[in-house]
Amino acid sequence: MNIIVCMKQVVDLQQIRIKRDTREPVLEGLPVLFGDMDKNALEEAVRIKEKHGAKVTVLSVGSAKLKETVLEALAMGADDASIIIDPACDGSESATTAITLAEAVKKIGSYELILVGEGSTDNYSGLTGSRLAEILGISQITYVRELTVEGNTVTAVRDLEGALEVVKTNMPVVISVTSEINKPRRAPLTQILRASRKPLNVWSLKDLGMAPDRLGSAASGIQVIGNVAPEQERKGIIFEGEVNEMVGRLVDALRKEGAIS
């Protein structure tokens, strides 16, 4: 069985600073890593491999830093990786990324399962998996928190608002997983050392037979016209000191606000 895990490289969101005057985020120089739920997807793929035997391929579109980022995924247990690095991909969004991933999936050729995270850690739009399934013309199961593979069939437990739904389908299928599905392993040191020796394909759009104008911000259906931290009009009153006094002052303030009676 061949499993493809699509992963997105994102900046470390914990380290984002906001410029005080313009409220713009400072992204330059931030470390990049794979998103949390992308790691859940990879972990699940590696678990299936350990149980049933499978080849796990990591697939990602991104910047040149991807060559380093992908090593962690290989150390976590992927067998090989294909990464697409091309300046024409800059400014891509879900629609253009899905087209690129679909072409790469076709180039990889054989697959039974495609695993993705429910959403990326940064944008959380949750669109790429659905678009990819539509382009490839295969079925999709979203919000999966339990996954079982048996022969050619997958059984999945979907996490919906008020209910859990058990569904079944034949492979190939695109599966998007939630963070509840597993706890991704930390790559053992021995594997980190070995990761750089695993097969890594670095592809350009030309390698995928794609014209650059199909992609990037020009082809993107979305134009971002602003991206700033929301204005917080909070009072920012901080009580410190003796407990009874702090509680008393808070309760007084809340009564004045009409928040409590």
Partner 1 sequence: MSPGILVSSERDSGIFELLTKGRELAKQLGLSISALVFGNVDDKKAQQYFEYGAHEITAIPNMDPSSLDAETYAYALFEVTKDNGQDILLISSSKLGKETAGRIAQKLQAGCATDAINLSTKDSTLVIERYSLGGNTVSTEIIKTKKKVISIMPRTFEANPAPVTGKVRTIDLKPPSQRVQVVERRKKTGEAVSIESAENLVCVGQGIVKKEDLAMINELCTALKAELGCTRALSSDFHWLSEDRMVGISGKRCKPKLHVSIGISGQIQHTVGIMSSKLIVAINKDKEAPILKIADYSIVGDLYQVIPKLTERIKSGGP
Map the footprint of partner 1 across residues 84-103, applying CB under 8 A.
93-95, 98
**Tokens 């006094």 belong to residue:** 245
Shortest Cβ distance from residue 98 to partner 1 (Å)?
7
- Does the protein bind partner 1 through residue 197 (CB under 8 A)? no
- Alpha-carbon distance of 79 to 198, in angstroms, equals 7
User: Could you tell me which stretch among 45-53, 60-68, 74-82, 164-172 binds partner 1 (CB under 8 A)?
Assistant: 164-172
Taking the least distance from each CB to partner 1, the nearer of 7 and 78 is 7
- Does the protein bind partner 1 through residue 150 (CB under 8 A)? no
CA angle 18, 23, 29 (to 5 degrees): 35
Shortest Cβ distance from residue 39 to partner 1 (Å)?
14
Query: Which residues inside 107-146 make contact with partner 1, applying CB under 8 A?
Result: 118-119, 121-131, 133-135, 139-143
Torsion, Cα of 52, 57, 60, 66 (10° steps): 120
- Alpha-carbon distance of 73 to 79, in angstroms, equals 9
Taking the least distance from each CB to partner 1, the nearer of 206 and 252 is 252
Q: How many residues bind partner 1 (CB under 8 A)?
A: 81
- Alpha-carbon distance of 129 to 158, in angstroms, equals 15
Exactly one of 165, 193, 206, 213 binds partner 1 (CB under 8 A); which one? Answer: 165
Exactly one of 29, 53, 209, 221 binds partner 1 (CB under 8 A); which one? Answer: 221
Taking the least distance from each CB to partner 1, the nearer of 53 and 241 is 241
- Does the protein bind partner 1 through residue 39 (CB under 8 A)? no
Shortest Cβ distance from residue 89 to partner 1 (Å)?
17
Amino acid at 139: S
Task: Taking the CA atoms of 235, 236, 241 and 244 in sequence, report the sign of the dihedral they define.
Answer: positive
Q: What separation, in Å, do the N-terminal and C-terminal C-alpha atoms of the chain show? A: 63
- Does the protein bind partner 1 through residue 182 (CB under 8 A)? no
- Alpha-carbon distance of 233 to 236, in angstroms, equals 9
- Alpha-carbon distance of 93 to 237, in angstroms, equals 40
Amino acid at 196: S
Binding mask 226-255 for partner 1 (x = CB under 8 A): xxxxx-x-xxxxxxx--xx-xxx-xxxxx-
Element (H, E) at 142: strand 139-150
